[in-house]
């Protein structure tokens, strides 16, 4: 085989082009997800045998003659031959996500938040009704309250535990039902199939922020979701070194999502996409450790005298456990603990003596984090029954015994500062 690169054709790019997964072409049986995650979105033959799809930097994509130029332009998008609509790096990542998640197609966005906001924007117009879970990621909620309402969209929040009772809120003009399960602060698990069934009766689209479970641990499209949104920043990138969003959609939602993203000029930089693809290769292995260590640490924290409650759906004691068991294939390493009433000096003693847990936003990297949540997040449709402060914990990939010791030490310091 002479250099693949010398032929202009394999490198030509259109939005509909797929980088086929070498395995799915030849395999009679679908491979285990652990195998798919290694091979999805890779085609070394196209890139001189390179294992990883390279970083393509580019805006202009040149044609050599008029026939090629005209052939590359698509009916639905005459500007298709342009870097904003994706490079081989972009398509490799989007195809990998589709392989793992099972949607029709996927698109990148520059951050998880832009993936949430622009997915909603693609579907709504003035006069539409949007239902959003009360437990949505704060900035997504703020966007709905500040931007959607300003544009004449009727935004209504609902109790995350509403289930099929959402039928009492759904209207003929309900266009989007936005869910997030579990909520990323207090971890309420939503009955997605029941909600989707009611939403679909009026033709609404179910958009889900699936960041916590990743494409591996919650299969959105098998549970009635139409658009599955990920802050790839978290577990997909996995190393706290890039911001990225990715959204996959089923066949019904795909043309609307794609049009909206293109109308707004949404795209993402090739280096960040490369980092996401690279991080994704080890995600199945990493998640098993986050899951296992998360449960072990959560169980340990339950025994601490200053811990009132642990909010973690994979614990049998959690109110969302039955739904989690029914619908999810695993658990990530993010959960929250509710403390007994302690003052700020005691809280400071706790945080200041943690050696392995940094205080920081975001999560999903290899490092452990603890985040003080000192006041209740906005809730308008459900009761905020939590006692503050809460501490949200992301369990990293360190030895869980070391993490337990670190937490144990910090709790003893907190006790002596009471």
Query: Is 388 considered catalytic here?
Result: no
Q: Check binding of 135 to ligand PLP (CB under 6 A).
A: no
Query: Is 326 considered catalytic here?
Result: no
Question: Per residue, what are the HEC states of 97-150?
Answer: HHHHHCCCEEEEECCHHHHHHHHHHHHCCCCCEEEEECCCCHHHHHHHHHHHHH
Query: Is 302 considered catalytic here?
Result: no
* Strand 205-209, strand 307-311: pairing: unpaired
Total residues in contact with ligand PLP, by rule CB under 6 A: 14
State both tokens at 175.
């266009």
Catalytic residue among 234, 281, 286, 309: 234
* Strand 390-394, strand 334-339: pairing: antiparallel
User: Quick one: which of 231, 275, 307, 315 contacts ligand PLP (CB under 6 A)?
Assistant: 231
Closest CA to 226 of 204, 211, 245, 246: 204
Q: Check binding of 209 to ligand PLP (CB under 6 A).
A: yes
Kindly tell me which of 277 and 349 has the beta carbon lying closer to ligand PLP: 277
- List CB contacts of 142: < 8 A, sequence separation 6 or more: none
Q: How far is the CB of 208 from ligand PLP (least distance, A)?
A: 10
Which residues from 285-304 bind ligand PLP, rule CB under 6 A? Answer: none
User: Quick one: which of 362, 372, 381, 417 contacts ligand PLP (CB under 6 A)?
Assistant: 362
Which residues from 243-272 bind ligand PLP, rule CB under 6 A? Answer: 243, 245
Buried b (16+ CB within 10 A) or exposed e, 360-378: eeebbbebbbbbbbeeebe
Which residues from 65-124 bind ligand PLP, rule CB under 6 A? Answer: 111-113, 116
Measured CA to CA, the distance from residue 388 to residue 259 in angstroms comes to: 43
Catalytic residue among 43, 128, 159, 209: 209
Q: Check binding of 233 to ligand PLP (CB under 6 A).
A: yes
Kindly tell me which of 53 and 117 has the beta carbon lying closer to ligand PLP: 117
Kindly tell me which of 225 and 414 has the beta carbon lying closer to ligand PLP: 225
Q: How far is the CB of 181 from ligand PLP (least distance, A)?
A: 10
Angle at 264 between CA 261 and CA 270, to 5 degrees: 65
The answer to whether the beta carbons of residues 128 and 121 sit under 8 Å apart is no
Q: What residues are labeled active site?
A: 84, 137, 209, 234
Interface ranges with ligand PLP (CB under 6 A): 111-113, 116, 137, 184, 209, 211, 231, 233-234, 243, 245, 362
């Amino acid at each position: 085989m002479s250099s693949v690169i010398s032929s202009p054709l394999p490198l030509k790019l259109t939005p509909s082009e797929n980088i086929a997964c070498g395995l799915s072409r030849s395999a009679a049986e679908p491979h285990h997800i652990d195998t798919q995650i290694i091979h999805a979105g890779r085609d070394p033959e196209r890139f001189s045998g390179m294992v990883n799809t390279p970083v393509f930097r580019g805006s202009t994509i040149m044609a050599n003659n008029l026939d090629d130029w005209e052939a590359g332009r698509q009916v639905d998008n005459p500007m298709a031959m342009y870097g904003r609509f994706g490079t081989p790096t972009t398509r490799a990542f989007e195809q990998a996500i589709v392989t793992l998640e099972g949607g029709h197609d996927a698109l990148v966005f520059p951050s998880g938040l832009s993936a949430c906001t622009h997915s909603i924007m693609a579907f709504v117009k003035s006069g539409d009704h949007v239902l959003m879970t009360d437990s949505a990621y704060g900035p997504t909620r703020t966007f709905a309250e500040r931007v959607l309402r300003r544009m004449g969209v009727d935004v209504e929040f609902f109790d995350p535990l509403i289930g099929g009772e959402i039928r009492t809120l759904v209207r003929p003009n309900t266009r989007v039902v936005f869910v997030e399960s579990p909520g990323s602060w207090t971890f309420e698990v939503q009955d997605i199939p029941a909600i989707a069934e009611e939403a679909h009766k009026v033709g609404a689209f179910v958009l889900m922020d699936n960041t916590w479970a990743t494409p591996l641990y919650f299969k959105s499209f098998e549970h009635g979701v139409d658009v599955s949104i990920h802050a790839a920043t978290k577990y997909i990138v996995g190393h706290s070194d890039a911001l990225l969003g990715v959204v996959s959609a089923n066949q019904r939602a795909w043309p609307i999502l794609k049009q909206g993203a293109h109308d707004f000029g949404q795209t993402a930089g090739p280096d960040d996409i490369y980092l996401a693809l690279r991080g994704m290769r080890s995600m199945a292995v990493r998640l098993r450790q986050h899951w296992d260590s998360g449960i072990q640490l959560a169980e340990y924290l339950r025994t601490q005298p200053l811990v009132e409650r642990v909010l973690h759906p994979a614990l049998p004691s959690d109110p969302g456990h039955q739904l989690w068991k029914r619908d999810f294939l695993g658990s990530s390493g993010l959960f929250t603990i509710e403390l007994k009433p302690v003052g700020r000096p005691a809280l400071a003693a706790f945080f200041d003596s943690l050696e392995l847990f940094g205080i920081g936003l975001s999560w999903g990297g290899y490092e452990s984090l603890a985040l003080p949540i000192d006041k209740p997040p906005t809730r308008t449709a459900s009761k905020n029954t939590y006692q503050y402060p809460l501490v949200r914990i992301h369990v990293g990939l360190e030895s869980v015994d070391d993490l337990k010791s670190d937490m144990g030490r910090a709790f003893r310091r907190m006790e002596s500062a009471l």
